[in-house]
Amino acid sequence: MTKLHRTTYHYSRRAFLGASASAAFSFSFLPSRVFGANERLQVAGIGVGGKGKGDFDALAMHGDVVAACDVDARRLDVSVRKHTDAVKFSDYREMISQFGDKIDVLNVSTADHTHAPAAMLAMRKGIHVYVQKPLTHTVWEARQLAKYARENKICTQMGNQGTATDGLREGAEYVRSGGLGKVKEIHAWTNRPVWPQAPSVVARPSEKQDVPSHMDWNSFIGPAPMRPYHSSYTPFKWRGWWDYGTGALGDMACHTTNLAFMACELTQPTSVESVNTGPINEETFPSWASIDLQFPKTEKRGSIKFHWYEGKVGNNGKDNKGIKNLPPMDLFHGQSPKNSGLLLVGTDGILYSPNDYGADWMVHKGGKWHKRNEVELPEQSLPRNGRGDNGMKEELVNAIRAGKPEIAVSNFNYAGNLTEAILLGNVAMRAGGKFKWDAKKMKTDRKDADKLISKVYRAGWEVDPA
């Protein structure tokens, strides 16, 4: 691969070594240049409204904002009020083209379908990136971002903020040390969707609407096929549309299953199955789904069956009624399942996290539940952060300053692997039934499923392979 050799606002190409969270902290890399402790980073943001504003503001605390981009001019204006020197854009391609050599670190908090195109374009300029979960829109994109960041020494972080909580890291250490015996099953669930999609929305709106004067519709569409503007797509409602979002699984599993991936050091599944999914249509995600993934045995653990549950089974859209899609109730041993949660079922106990982020958990052993502070924890093996969402940005900045990408625990090696596995569930959802997964070749044993591993990009918005 051709290496990047270029001059940026501060220094030559970033030369840092990426590492997965499970292997993080085992080696170091001497960068060509390291930022001083008080030296200001040059910061930019793509998607700076809504959740993106929080990401943008948190990253901006560590430097000087030079540029900002959002398809909605009104949101953009609000977000840059405190950053009067920032140059504003609605098309991230123009921003990166004009300011790529002046940006050190960038947050990407757009709709899911533009995460990978924006992040890859930035990384090809040597820019360090913070990308909201899920990392990408497709399985193939997750593999490409992780590969490029690793090979080109880019510091990265995905925004699944539970990663920064001490509780999640303690839980991972507890499970890794054998606190549950051998983990056999993982169960994760969410009450999502909480946005419009099937069964109430199964087709594109027929009503014609003018594009608002503050909206750059072409840039919102980005890599997706062009279609007429309608308010049913944005803001936020894009999550339920195949072309723009990743549904409930993509939205929440990077949070809810994060503890499981870190604790069990999950890699890629060998098979994926849609076991109970609502009616599929061509435009929006189904109203409920249950997905199974089979993770193979490794040197550290046995095989693990992973179960995902979302929505309300039988929801017909008329009265929003249906049966909450949940794990078997006997696994809760008297606890009430929360709207979202995680169960790790081992030979010696069950860990239950009634929290989207894995920040808190309890263990059922010896016939009763024990709170997190009531179990014997092993010797600390993971660094502590304890700063939540802001801590995620701090870790990335610390990684940049130290020249050690592994400091950012949800770096793209870790986050890419997690996202890739999770998005295979959406492939199964749409294709139906079961397929085998060859992670090395990035192929299934079904041609219809293979077509959903990647997608066709609109001209000018492609993601070039790593």
Residue 175 · residue 183 · CB < 8 Å:
yes
Instruction: Give the integer Cα–Cα distance in Å for 293 and 288.
Output: 17
Of 440, 259, 441, give the one whose Cα is nearest residue 352: 259
Instruction: Give the integer Cα–Cα distance in Å for 406 and 410.
Output: 8
Q: Which two tokens stand for residue 363?
A: 């263990």
Which residue type is seen at 201? V
Instruction: Give the integer Cα–Cα distance in Å for 293 and 272.
Output: 5
Residues 6+ apart with CB under 8 A from 217: 71, 211, 229
pLDDT in tens, 392-444: 999 999 999 998 999 999 999 999 999 999 999 999 999 999 999 999 999 99
Instruction: Give the integer Cα–Cα distance in Å for 371 and 111.
Output: 37
Instruction: Give the integer Cα–Cα distance in Å for 265 and 404.
Output: 21
- Give me the residues paired with residue 128 across strands: 105
Residues 6+ apart with CB under 8 A from 336: none
Angle at 114 between CA 65 and CA 237, to 5 degrees: 100
Instruction: Give the integer Cα–Cα distance in Å for 239 and 194.
Output: 10
Q: What letter would DSSP give residue 222? A: T
Q: What is the pLDDT of residue 25?
A: 31
Return the CATH number of the domain spanning residue range 166-385+425-450: 3.30.360.10
Which residue type is seen at 62? H
Asked if domains 21-162+387-420 and 166-385+425-450 share a fold, the reply is no
Instruction: Give the integer Cα–Cα distance in Å for 86 and 44.
Output: 8
Annotated domain spans of the chain: 21-162+387-420, 166-385+425-450
Instruction: Give the integer Cα–Cα distance in Å for 330 and 363.
Output: 15
Which residue type is seen at 191? N
pLDDT in tens, the chain (466 residues): 333 322 222 222 232 223 333 333 333 333 334 576 668 899 999 999 999 999 999 999 999 999 999 999 999 999 999 999 999 999 999 999 999 999 999 999 999 999 999 999 999 999 999 999 999 999 999 999 999 999 999 999 999 999 999 999 999 999 999 999 999 999 999 999 999 999 999 999 999 999 999 999 999 999 999 999 999 999 999 999 999 999 999 999 999 999 999 999 999 999 999 999 999 999 999 999 999 999 999 999 999 999 999 999 999 877 778 999 999 999 999 999 999 999 999 999 999 999 899 999 999 999 999 999 999 999 999 999 999 999 999 999 999 999 899 999 999 999 999 999 999 999 999 999 999 999 999 999 999 999 999 999 999 999 999 9
Residue 316 burial (10 A CB sphere; 0-12, 13-18, 19+): middle
Fold observed for domain 21-162+387-420:
Rossmann fold (3.40.50)
Q: How many CB atoms lie within 10 A of CB 207?
A: 9
Q: Which two tokens stand for residue 264?
A: 């069990």
